[in-house]
Amino acid sequence: MQKTTSKPSPRKAGTARVRPRSARQRALLAAAALADKKAQRPVILDLRKLTLIADYFVICHATSEVHAHALAEALGEQLKAHGLPRGSAQGLGDSRWILFDLGDVIVHIFTEFERGFYDLERLWGDAPRVEVKLATP
């Protein structure tokens, strides 16, 4: 009986598999994309030990509803540029609280008033924060 070894099929140039990014990497990517467009006080909360709804929350606020919408557009573009699905987005109509559900990462883009009113950082106060390294001008 002969042993046959199966070789992986050769891939065409440029079709290498993209490794899925970890939830942490996606959260950091989202925070960086938002910070690049001048999001205010971006924060990443690590929720893995607190809830099953998500591994990370990315929270920031905009200076206006127009700015919030621009942040949402920039985030969608960055996700697409990195080969990641945009996920579902809610709140784009009034742009006071825009939520991107990326599965294990949920991104919250608020206006300043809405962020203070809902105060997710206080609500999830037991969650460790992940450092967001912002580019310096």
Q: Are 114 and 100 in contact (CB under 8 A)?
A: no
pLDDT in tens, 34-78: 999 999 999 999 999 999 999 999 999 999 999 999 999 999 999
Amino acid identity of residue 36, one-letter, is D
Architecture of domain 23-130: 2-Layer Sandwich (3.30)
What are the boundaries of each domain within the chain? Answer: 23-130
| Token pair of 120 as six digits | 């997710």
pLDDT in tens, 81-114: 888 888 888 998 888 999 999 999 999 999 999 9
116: number of Cβ within 10 Å: 11
Higher-confidence residue of 13 and 24: namely: 24
Q: Are 58 and 43 in contact (CB under 8 A)?
A: yes
